[in-house]
Structure 1
Amino acid sequence: MARIPTSLLAAGGLAGGFALAQATERRQLGGVVFAAATAAAVPRWRRAVGTGGAAALTGMSVGAMGVSHPLAKKIGAWPSVAAVSAVVASTAWLAVDRRAANGE
């Protein structure tokens, strides 16, 4: 079975976490989804780009979640989540998953 790309894990953690939080009205559950998806990606990030790179990708993911809140007030909740998820997915793809796809 092929592994899920870390870009999808990271973006899915943001979008899936938000969806669950919205559906259940329990923000903590959304945080658990986000944390679990990020935790699943971190070891692969560390192997691919080292500890510093993994820390940067993790920080970017956490920062994206933080940015999504004020952005949501300007453009709406789902557009905000989509935007920050796209940034996180693109960055993880370029930094990690593209290398794996190319056999590097």
Structure 2
Amino acid sequence: MAAVPSAVLTTAGLIGGYSVARATGNRPLGGAVLAGFGAAAFETWRRGPGLGTALALTGVYVGAFGLSHPLAKRIGAWPAVLGVTAATAALAVAAERD
């Protein structure tokens, strides 16, 4: 069975985490979704490009989550989430191609 691309995992984590938190009103549940998919992406990167890349891209993933909050105040929640998700996914794709 083929591995799930990390860009799919980060997208599911960022969009899924926000969607779950918004739909349920339970921010910790959304955080659990974010963390679960982040852990899966980390493992994909660790097994592929290596530990250094995994650590760097996990930092990008967590940073994207953090950046989405102040960005949402300027452009709205969904545009912020979609923007940071697109940037994170693009970096994930680039890392897996190297």
Shared fold, TM over 0.5: yes
Amino acid at match of 1:62: V
Counterpart for residue 26 of structure 1: 26
2:4 partner SS: coil
* Cα distance between partner residues in 1 of 2:60 and 2:35: 13
Is the counterpart of residue 57 in structure 1 residue 61 in structure 2?
A: no
* Cα distance between partner residues in 2 of 1:43 and 1:21: 24
Counterpart for residue 13 of structure 2: 13
Please list every run of 5 or more consecutive structure 2 residues that lacks an aligned counterpart in the other structure.
none
* Cα distance between partner residues in 2 of 1:27 and 1:79: 19
Query: Share of identical aligned residues, percent?
Result: 53
Amino acid at match of 1:35: A
2:85 partner SS: helix
Is the counterpart of residue 69 in structure 1 residue 69 in structure 2?
A: yes
Amino acid at match of 1:29: L
> Could you give the per-residue CA deviations for residues 49-98 of structure 1, whole angstroms, max 9, x where no partner exists?
221110000000000000000000000000000000001100001101x3
**What TM-score comes out, normalization by structure 1 length?**
0.89
Q: In the comparison of the two structures, how many residue pairs are matched? A: 98
* Cα distance between partner residues in 1 of 2:20 and 2:3: 23
* Cα distance between partner residues in 2 of 1:88 and 1:67: 12
Measured after TM superposition, the shift of residue 8 of structure 1 is 0.8
Counterpart for residue 102 of structure 1: none
2:2 partner SS: coil
**What TM-score comes out, normalization by structure 2 length?**
0.94
